[in-house]
């Protein structure tokens, strides 16, 4: 279970304010992860895909950071975003790819932002 201090600011504040709820939430996540045969690497990619499908920029950022920490190559994370094209459509998948690149290629994203300005 991740400690409250390891969470993004707002989530960490809620976890600290309501520790019983956060413990129950974290336990549910652990139980779901153990409910079947999917290995941890594939679980991380599935969670990234779900965050993309839920249109959660913060979730995409979080799962990308954690995936990189776990040794998953950034190319795999970008592929997940590209695989969203047929299901979510080109514009949403491109947006998701930019969220992935916020974490995998932050310098590239900063330069892209400057050229758009």
Where in the chain are the domains? 1-36, 37-116
- The per-residue pLDDT for 113 is 65
- The per-residue pLDDT for 8 is 73
- The per-residue pLDDT for 4 is 67
Whether residue 80 contacts residue 92, with contact meaning beta carbons closer than 8 Å, is answered with: no
Reading the chain (117 residues) residue by residue, the pLDDT tens digits are: 666 667 778 888 999 999 999 999 999 999 999 999 999 999 999 999 999 999 999 999 999 999 999 999 999 999 999 999 999 999 999 999 999 999 999 988 667 766 655
CATH numeric code, 37-116: 1.20.1290.10
Please enumerate, as own/partner, the contacts of 94-100 that have beta carbons within 8 Å and a separation of 24 or more.
Answer: 96/52, 96/60, 99/52, 99/57, 99/60, 99/61, 99/64, 100/48, 100/60, 100/64, 100/74
- Note the pTM of the prediction, 2 decimals: 0.85
Residues with Cβ < 8 Å from 112, sequence gap 6 or more? 98
- The per-residue pLDDT for 11 is 87
């Amino acid at each position: 279970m991740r400690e409250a201090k390891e969470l993004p600011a707002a989530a960490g504040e809620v976890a600290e304010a309501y520790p019983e709820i956060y413990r129950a939430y974290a336990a549910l996540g652990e139980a779901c992860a153990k409910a079947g045969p999917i290995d941890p690497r594939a679980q991380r990619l599935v969670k990234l895909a779900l965050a993309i499908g839920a249109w959660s920029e913060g979730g995409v950022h979080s799962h990308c950071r954690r995936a990189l920490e776990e040794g998953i190559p950034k190319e795999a994370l970008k592929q997940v975003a590209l695989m969203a094209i047929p299901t979510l459509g080109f514009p949403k998948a491109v947006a998701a790819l930019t969220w992935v690149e916020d974490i995998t290629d932050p310098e590239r994203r900063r330069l892209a932002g400057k050229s758009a300005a």
